Amino acid sequence: MSSASIPSPFCPLLILHFLALYLGRDSTHSPPAVNHRPLPTCGNPPSVPFPTEAPVSRPLKMTLEAQSAAIAARFDYTDEQVNSAVNEFRRQMTEGLEKDGTSLSQIPTYVTGVPNGTEKGLYMAVDLGGTNFRVCSIQLNGDTTFNLTFSKVAIPRDLMVAKTAQELFAFLAKQIELFLQTHHEDHFEQHVRRRMTMSSPDGYKDEHVFRLGFTFSFPVQQVGINKGTLIRWTKGFDIPDAIGKDVCALLQDEIDKLHLPVKVAALVNDTVGTLMARSYSSPGKTGTVLGAIFGTGTNGAYVEKLSNLKKPLSGEYDKTTGEMVINTEWGSFDNQLSVLPNTEWDVALDKASPNPGIQMYEKRVSGMFLGEILRLVTIDLLKDPKVSFFKDENSSSNDWKSTTNIVSDSSIYTQWGLDTAIMSVAAADNTPELSTLRGELEKQLGIYSAGLDDAQAFKAIANAIGRRSARLSAVAIAAIVLQTGKLTDPANADEPVDIGVDGSLVEHYPYFRDMIYEALSAIDGIGEEGAKRIRIGIAKDGSGVGAALIALVAAGMEKRLTTADYLGELRSNAKSNNLTVVPEDEAARD
């Protein structure tokens, strides 16, 4: 049939052509633009090719639903992309084990074993990692259980960007003092008394000082179990004066100024703490292989074979286990963006962040940033005159028969003004009217009487950002599981591959772990069967308990004396120095 043939009235191509012309009309009902090309005809085979260009028409006015679906699709991260990211992650892991200064830092921690649950003792831990500073004391009971007492204080924003490191660390030491006075008054008083009853220069015996594990959740170049210099700040902290300094010494100096009976015994990243805590609480035949945080920031620490660690180590460590815990600092995976997704909103977020070009993986995964991505998308939609998002022409277009209003000082207009927590509300709200989410939009962002369509659009975009984060999280988990070889190791055949996680995202974002599992089962070398063997469990308070466990290991490296030894030694010292010794129980009494 030639191009001049009469088209059949049911020819699907022709119907599509008219439909396109019809849809091309905008709401002012102007006539469709005329297309002077000959009408396409159906037939086989055409003697001349069909036109491949779309007919000229006016731009479509997309509905909010279609617009939000299109934006959500921009956050898709396909199985294929996930797989190539896993390969790249593994490549960058190897690179980081071989040399310094790589994207994935792969920092050796000098921790050469994981606990088995039998450890005992009373330790202290402090945790500086994001929004809060936590001080805790942990009684390890030696039977995989522990008792934890803690206090938590929000870190004032001005201290996160203080002029000197000393300002921040003085604040931290003060919190330790308050904690001791509140929760360990006896111990605290006893030590003050000891200092007063002995006139030796030290004042009291080192062995009776609390060993403190310092969880410091920023990239640190560790050179020993209680020594490490800050490489860079992340998560909104920015105190340039601290870069390159030993953070343990900074804290110890301020503790000493307050004469507290506390020794910073171990420096721990929160991921290492999580790994330790999980290993302590749920020891399996092979122990936990990965500790990961999906919270304000994200990172993971895993157990690596010493033989794979090729870059030189400066500090002392125990070589007998043949393993060492590595802090990957995976927040900086693929800073060069060879496999990470990069929407215009990711670009905008990075540009306006305090650390452009770094922590690129973290900026797509962790809690601090997801809300900001959603905020940037929301602002773009609000500015788009073609889209009716959080605006009503009049009350008839709003299902609550009101008009949507955004207060002029809404935090939606400010950087970091959208708390990621609202994404959890969006994901969890399955009520027909999305009334919980709409209530939250009002409470948190001053968006009054949002319509159902607005809330649905907001939810669809938020869910897409959350889902992308979970799928990206699966990339890091999968790469490390594959690296450990545990899934194929015959010695581990019937054992689960245990992973400890902590952080607000993995704990509170609905279905986060399910979405990780879904992605894991699509990864080569894991698949559905492998995914079933990967056990991802929450290690609550991991960083505190883990830091205490490492402080225990560190204390074991020092000379340890029992109370009897202590008193004996004290008496003999006193005799030789002609001092008066008040017995311990007496000192405690008065």
Encoded amino acid at 226, one letter: N
Instruction: Please tell me whether residue 502 binds ligand BGC under the rule CB under 6 A.
Output: no
Assess whether 217 carries a catalytic annotation.
Answer: yes
Stretch that binds ligand BGC, among 202-210, 215-223, 452-460, 514-522 (CB under 6 A): 215-223
Least CB distance to ligand BGC at residue 401 (A): 46
- The residue from 110, 133, 188, 218 that contacts ligand BGC (CB under 6 A) is 218
Range 269-308, binding ligand BGC (CB under 6 A): 269-271, 293, 295, 297-299
The residues, any chain, with a CB within 8 Å of residue 558's CB and separated by 6 or more, are 265
Least CB distance to ligand BGC at residue 56 (A): 51
- The residue from 127, 304, 346, 362 that contacts ligand BGC (CB under 6 A) is 362
96 in Cβ contact with 333 (< 8 Å):
no
Least CB distance to ligand BGC at residue 300 (A): 8
Look at residues 191, 122, 206, 185 and name the one whose alpha carbon lies nearest to residue 566: 206
Least CB distance to ligand BGC at residue 501 (A): 11
The residues, any chain, with a CB within 8 Å of residue 332's CB and separated by 6 or more, are 103, 104, 105, 219, 358, 359, 360, 361, 362
Sheet holding 323-327, edge to edge: 107-108, 323-327, 298-305, 288-294, 497-502, 534-538
CA distance 125 to 112: 20
Give the DSSP per-residue string, 232-249: ---TT---GGGTTSBHHH
Cβ closer to ligand BGC: 291 or 466? 291
What counts of helices (H) and strands (E) characterise the chain? Answer: 20, 15
- Cβ neighbours of 574 (radius 10 Å): 17
Cβ closer to ligand BGC: 213 or 331? 331
Encoded amino acid at 293, one letter: I
Range 237-276, binding ligand BGC (CB under 6 A): 269-271
Cβ closer to ligand BGC: 211 or 235? 235
Cβ closer to ligand BGC: 226 or 398? 226
CA distance 479 to 83: 10
CA dihedral 259, 261, 262, 263 (to 10 degrees): 90
- Please identify which of the residues 194, 232, 278, 468 carries the catalytic annotation: 232
For 456, the enclosing helix (H) or strand (E) is helix 452-484
Least CB distance to ligand BGC at residue 102 (A): 15
Least CB distance to ligand BGC at residue 304 (A): 17
Instruction: Please tell me whether residue 219 binds ligand BGC under the rule CB under 6 A.
Output: yes
Least CB distance to ligand BGC at residue 179 (A): 21
Cβ closer to ligand BGC: 92 or 269? 269
* Interaction pattern, residues 161-200, with ligand BGC; x per rule: CB under 6 A: ----------------------------------------
Cβ closer to ligand BGC: 287 or 331? 331
Least CB distance to ligand BGC at residue 543 (A): 8
Which position's Cβ is nearest ligand BGC? 297
CA distance 215 to 213: 6
Least CB distance to ligand BGC at residue 503 (A): 7
Rg over CA atoms, the chain: 30
- Please identify which of the residues 68, 194, 211, 270 carries the catalytic annotation: 270
- Cβ neighbours of 235 (radius 10 Å): 24
Q: Are strands 497-502 and 534-538 parallel, antiparallel or unpaired?
A: parallel
Look at residues 337, 338, 442 and name the one whose alpha carbon lies nearest to residue 390: 442
* Interaction pattern, residues 75-114, with ligand BGC; x per rule: CB under 6 A: ----------------------------------------
Q: Are strands 323-327 and 107-108 parallel, antiparallel or unpaired?
A: antiparallel
Assess whether 270 carries a catalytic annotation.
Answer: yes
- The residue from 24, 108, 129, 542 that contacts ligand BGC (CB under 6 A) is 129
At 513, list the tokens.
């772990």
At 478, list the tokens.
């999968």
Assess whether 206 carries a catalytic annotation.
Answer: no
For 520, the enclosing helix (H) or strand (E) is helix 512-520
Cβ closer to ligand BGC: 68 or 271? 271
CA distance 207 to 223: 24
CA distance 240 to 261: 30
Cβ closer to ligand BGC: 217 or 378? 217
Least CB distance to ligand BGC at residue 215 (A): 9
Burial class (CB in 10 A: 0-12, 13-18, 19+), 344: exposed
- Please identify which of the residues 217, 353, 366, 504 carries the catalytic annotation: 217
At 58, list the tokens.
């006016």
Cβ closer to ligand BGC: 329 or 454? 329
Q: Where are the alpha helices (DSSP H) in 184-246?
A: 185-197
In the chain, the N- to C-terminal Cα span, in Å, equals 111
Range 329-358, binding ligand BGC (CB under 6 A): 329, 331
Cβ closer to ligand BGC: 279 or 296? 296
How many residues sit in the footprint of ligand BGC (CB under 6 A)? 17
Catalytic positions? 217, 232, 270
Q: Where do contacts with ligand BGC occur on this chain (CB under 6 A)?
A: 129, 217-219, 234-235, 269-271, 293, 295, 297-299, 329, 331, 362
